């Protein structure tokens, strides 16, 4: 059920990374211990739970004990998804071991034109091993080309035919590079063009959280719907847990409130605690129009990313 940060460090240094506020080097390096991990597994088992564990970082394949963690979750019959950039020797080694086991991989990639030769070797070797167990995810940049490489890689390596795209979201502290307001429509147009091209190969798009529905025109939303890439706009996170066992709502909101997992009876109680506290703030919306927007009132749009919407709010009290 939770997203477990096995490490808070990464082999990449992406300017847009929305984990910056709790990641190395802004913070000391952290690596999840077996004790914390096993405590979290027992905590989640108290339920109610969907038996889903997301392993992420930083970069989770940099954790020297990731084999143990995956093995423990398989023994517990949990559904495992690993969020990795695959650009590490550890990713290739783990891919070899779990290639025929029920482990999903969501591979966060930057434009391949930016990979160096070593990164390329690791990523392509691991993709070859993983095939349909892996799907791509990336942020659509306002100033880059139309990302057709993602379709080529999905076809070449026989990956899952679902590609997850995201908009660059800011952390509450604005520590990272994120979209300006006027770039949302630029990215929306790129996403629509990519969805049209993807549909020709029976590939569809899925969406990261925080995308406001009104970034797209009605016509673009119709195109997405017709090509099987219907927009889901939401801001409701699986809770993240840091390597030291601290529960946060999500990485961009990491500095706004946290508690150690042992302070909650269960994952379910932790999720309720955050949702109840964020609920009044959600009503602020993203812009004035949200107050009268039918989508907001019907909860069909959560008004984009709460971390972004709270940037001008001070004295937030959880």
Q: How near is the Cβ of 237 to ligand SF4 at its closest, in Å?
A: 4
CA proximity to 269, closest of 306, 246, 241, 239: 239
Determine how many CB atoms are found less than 10 A away from the CB of residue 225: 12
Q: How far is 183 from 186, CA to CA, in rounded Å?
A: 5
Residue whose CB is less far from ligand SF4, 42 or 218: 218
Q: How far is CA 92 from CA 36, 58, 86, 151, in A?
A: 26, 17, 7, 22
- Segment interacting with ligand SF4, rule: CB under 6 A, options 2-10, 91-99, 103-111, 305-313: 305-313
**List of residues 6+ apart from 112 with CB closer than 8 A:** 120, 149, 153
Among 73, 235, 247, 256, binds ligand SF4 (CB under 6 A): 235
Looking only at residues 195 through 224 of this chain, which bind ligand SF4 when binding is defined by CB under 6 A? 209-210, 212-214
User: Binding of ligand SF4 at residue 307 (CB under 6 A)?
Assistant: yes
Q: How near is the Cβ of 227 to ligand SF4 at its closest, in Å?
A: 21
Q: How near is the Cβ of 83 to ligand SF4 at its closest, in Å?
A: 14
Total of residues contacting ligand SF4 (CB under 6 A): 24
Among 250, 254, 256, 270, binds ligand SF4 (CB under 6 A): 250
Residue whose CB is less far from ligand SF4, 150 or 209: 209
DSSP code of residue 25: T
User: Binding of ligand SF4 at residue 253 (CB under 6 A)?
Assistant: yes
Q: How far is 193 from 182, CA to CA, in rounded Å?
A: 18
CA proximity to 243, closest of 25, 54, 50, 32: 32
> Per-residue x/- mask for ligand SF4, residues 262 to 291, rule CB under 6 A?
-----------------------xx--xx-
User: Binding of ligand SF4 at residue 301 (CB under 6 A)?
Assistant: yes
Dihedral sign computed on CA atoms, order 256, 175, 107, 4: negative
User: Binding of ligand SF4 at residue 94 (CB under 6 A)?
Assistant: no
User: Binding of ligand SF4 at residue 55 (CB under 6 A)?
Assistant: no
DSSP notation for 78-118: -EEEEEE---SHHHHHHHHHHTTSSEEEEEE---GGG--HH
Residue whose CB is less far from ligand SF4, 145 or 181: 181
Contact residues for ligand SF4, defined by CB under 6 A: 169, 209-210, 212-214, 235, 237, 250, 252-253, 285-286, 289-290, 293, 295-296, 301, 303-307
């Amino acid at each position: 059920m939770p997203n477990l940060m096995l490490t808070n460090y990464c082999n990449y240094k992406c300017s847009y990374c929305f984990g910056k506020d709790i990641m190395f080097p802004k913070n000391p390096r952290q690596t999840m211990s077996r004790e914390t991990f096993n405590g979290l597994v027992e905590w989640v088992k108290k339920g109610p739970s969907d038996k889903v564990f997301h392993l992420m970082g930083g970069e989770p394949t940099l954790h020297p004990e990731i084999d143990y963690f995956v093995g423990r979750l398989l023994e517990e019959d949990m559904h495992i998804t690993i969020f990795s950039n695959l650009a590490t020797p550890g990713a290739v080694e783990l891919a070899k071991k779990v290639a025929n086991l029920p482990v999903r991989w969501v591979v966060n990639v930057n434009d391949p034109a930016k990979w160096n030769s070593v990164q390329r070797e690791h990523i392509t070797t691991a993709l070859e091993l993983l095939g349909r167990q892996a799907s791509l995810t990336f942020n659509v940049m306002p100033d880059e080309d139309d990302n057709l490489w993602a379709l080529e890689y999905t076809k070449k390596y026989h990956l899952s035919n679902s590609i997850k795209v995201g908009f660059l979201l800011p952390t509450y502290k604005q520590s990272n590079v994120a979209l300006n307001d006027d770039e949302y429509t630029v990215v929306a147009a790129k996403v629509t063009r990519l969805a049209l091209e993807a549909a020709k190969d029976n590939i569809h798009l899925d969406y990261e959280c925080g995308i406001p529905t009104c970034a797209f025109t009605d016509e673009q939303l119709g195109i997405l719907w017709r090509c099987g890439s219907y927009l889901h706009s939401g801001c409701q996170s699986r809770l993240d847990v840091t390597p030291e066992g601290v529960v946060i709502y999500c990485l961009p909101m990491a500095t706004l409130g946290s508690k150690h997992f042992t302070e909650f009876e269960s994952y379910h109680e932790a999720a309720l605690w955050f949702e109840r506290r964020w609920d009044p703030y959600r009503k602020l919306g993203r812009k004035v129009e949200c107050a009268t927007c039918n989508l907001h009132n019907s909860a069909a749009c959560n008004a984009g990313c709460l971390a972004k919407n709270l940037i001008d709010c001070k004295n937030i009290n959880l």
